[in-house]
A and B are shown apart, each in its own frame.
Chain A
């Protein structure tokens, strides 16, 4: 219950990374949130859930990262970005209404 893995059409889980492994400007798609129900609920409330496309707009660094999620920017601490498994995607496959 605390962990779930989806079947991604973009990349297999073995090729996946955590947000902390991405670089500034990278586009990625969320594959899995490994932090338990409370963490999934907190992130889900801000629109970060599996299959959500995100873009790194600050960091990642020791402080954490800021992600562009749809029309909003969400700041995540270090402890959170190490629990979000993602797969890098090309920039043009982002279609969340982000104003790029």
Chain B
């Protein structure tokens, strides 16, 4: 029915199609409406500022195609807000748009109508969509859309976008509005301002007549500066006269009239039928708990903890099924088919063992990752996240961050790239850079696959706690990084917290499922894209090596991959990686491109190292039996899950974990090889390195786009250095008794390097402050 694409850089739509732009305040349901019209399923959260860049899709009505552009929420066309709001403003004011669809929240109409007034001033055809009428009705309000339509002079449609109510009617209205555009009734600012607008308009000959009124309004409100001295002089004169005549500044007069108009329109559109229902009482009671001074922060940490422990434990119910079923089909089934078709064994081992095995390990982790996404989607939709940002604001402020930096941090649990993009909601450039630089330390879903593979081997009984500890460590490092930079290289004041708290909503299953699926789909398909990298790593590098006779085909232990990884092992020895565990280094190298392929790389290498007869499993596999066995694991694991519900922390198993012997029961050859290559301590140090070093090439690209080459390079070096330092300190301090002198030297070296870094950052900050002072002086004198 429709298609969808992101258009961050290039022209958003085809010139042949008419363009509909969706505009409205943050959190009014634009993206839900976009999904409804185009069929795309974008991530929609119940917090302000989820969409940070414009996206376009196509709506089809009969044979007619219409381009629909979803814009970030914007409170005013006159200025203010973060980078995301600037994107929306620029598009609405400067692009070729056939129709603006202004979406407003019917339950908070007065506030949303102020933007409607500004959109009418642009002189473009408009349709007003009254969204969330169900919530307005729940508050005892009756919607009178015909009366509002008559007052505005544009079509008005009441809908409930979340429930897909009135979709057909809406699409029909939009196509009719394209054929018969309605410009609407601009509001009358009163005699004084209207006369000033007319006078200013005559002084703007370079501006098209349709835009003169809007440009004059911007000038009078002080949101733009005149380009020529004549207009500047006239503006000053008109402003002074207005101030004398009305005892108010023109900006105040305009804002007063605009808000009074919004109040009038809201009164026309809404008729109170009865008292507010239960909803307001529920909001009051929930807010008393969620925003409580003492409970707010612990509650947020408890919620995050439950999300990850329940996701891990609950995901375990299906983990073995996904693991065994995908192994039966993708490894043994595909291997058998290829063997039967007579392909050479080296090719079969690459396709079935390498690519199939890599996919098998990633597919195994779909249940816990899918559950994590489901929980996060539930939190998104419930209205809790904006409150958590407020609850965390004081703590974040101490780290030199605004409270809404929490929003991208939570997005970062899914993927660091949208989290970096999501930092655009932060208005203050300094706060935005700090927030962006924190994101690489947030544990994304790809890292979760690595944690879980190691947790299964070394920490099976308390894997949830270990994974949670890594998540918390990532958050702590991210916050400390912001604090350090905020005190040294990026000193400055944090903008005070101002944020709208969306209403609490019981998330619909459809919305939560779609959001979770959207994120899971990105995770799964990203693996598909990078599987090509695995192919190259597994096919070329392990098969050839540098010999006395030059580059020749060799076994894996003498291959280029082994030679390169072994050369790097001395760097990683202080964190517990030894010469014979060189595949761990290969995994890290592959992980710099994408974390999804770390386990796949290890899988391929260990399989080639260990298997004497790689084809044995493919000759006569009992696929049906394996699938049946996989199904039987579900009830067995469910029983384990429910019988350990009284011990959600897994404390009873703490003393029996952490030994490599546990891994002897692991079915996968890769997991057995991991168990042989690491100790629990070196495994944990390795996981800390994975957490902190370069997230992936895509994240680095997003960093470069958002904060430039300089800060991207800093993030790369700082993250990798910190990863090595933290892992080394963890390993050396835990083995201190064995070699005190050696360990003390490493730890002292790390501390000295860190001290040097702090000095360097302070010097950079001082230089930056010194450079900014003259420019401030220049601006002040100007």
Q: Point out residues on A near B: beta carbons under 8 Å.
A: 1, 4, 35, 37-39, 41-47, 49-51, 57-58, 61-64, 66, 69-80, 96-97, 99-100
Contact = CB atoms under 8 A, between A and B. Distances in A.
Interface stretch (B405-413, B497-505, B533-541): B497-505
A99 B394 contact: no
Contacts of B78: 41
Given A72-B500, A75-B499, 14 more contacts: A1-B249, A44-B76, A45-B80, A46-B75, A51-B256, A58-B287, A63-B390, A71-B110, A72-B501, A73-B503, A74-B500, A75-B500, A77-B496, A97-B270
Interface in B338-392: 386-387, 389-391
A53 to B, nearest CB: 11
Given A4-B252, A75-B499, A80-B498, A97 B293 contact: no
Nearest to B499: A75
A99 B140 CA distance: 8
Contacts of B729: none
Nearest to A69: B111
B284 interface: yes
26 contacts: A1-B222, A39-B496, A41-B80, A43-B498, A44-B255, A45-B75, A45-B80, A46-B498, A47-B111, A49-B255, A58-B288, A63-B293, A63-B394, A66-B291, A69-B111, A70-B108, A71-B108, A71-B139, A72-B108, A72-B501, A74-B498, A75-B501, A79-B496, A79-B497, A97-B266, A99-B280
Contacts of A64: 390, 393, 497
Nearest to B111: A47
Nearest to B287: A58
A38 B493 CA distance: 14
Report the contact-size class of chain B (Cβ under 8 Å from the partner): 35 or more
B107 interface: yes
A81 B36 CA distance: 39
A42 B498 contact: yes
Given A66-B390, A100-B280, A47 B114 contact: yes
A99 B498 contact: no
Contacts of B79: 41
Contact of A58 (B110, B276, B291, B389): B291
Interface of A, secondary structure class, is mixed
A74 B192 CA distance: 33
A96 B393 contact: no
Of the candidates A4, A46, A51, the one having the most CB atoms from chain B within 10 angstroms of its own CB is: A46
Contact of B403 (A35, A38, A77, A100): A77
A99 to B, nearest CB: 4
A71 B498 contact: no
Contacts of A37: 222
B110 A97 contact: yes
Contacts of A4: 248-249, 252
B393 A63 contact: yes
Given A63-B394, A73-B501, A97-B109, A42 B80 contact: yes
Contacts of B393: 63-64, 75, 77
B285 to A, nearest CB: 11
B153 interface: no
Contacts of A42: 80-81, 427, 498
Nearest to A62: B394
Contacts of B255: 44, 49
B259 interface: yes
A72 B111 contact: yes
Nearest to A82: B496
A98 B118 CA distance: 24
A49 to B, nearest CB: 6
Contacts of B75: 45-46
A12 B500 CA distance: 29
A37 B291 CA distance: 29
A71 to B, nearest CB: 4
Nearest to B498: A42
Contacts of B109: 71, 97
Contacts of B387: 75
Contact of A80 (B76, B270, B496, B500): B496
Interface string B697-717: 000000000000000000000
A70 B222 CA distance: 27
Interface in B95-149: 105, 107-111, 114, 139-141
B287 A61 contact: no
Interface string B271-295: 0000010011001100110010100
B497 A57 contact: no
Contacts of A77: 393, 397, 403, 496-498
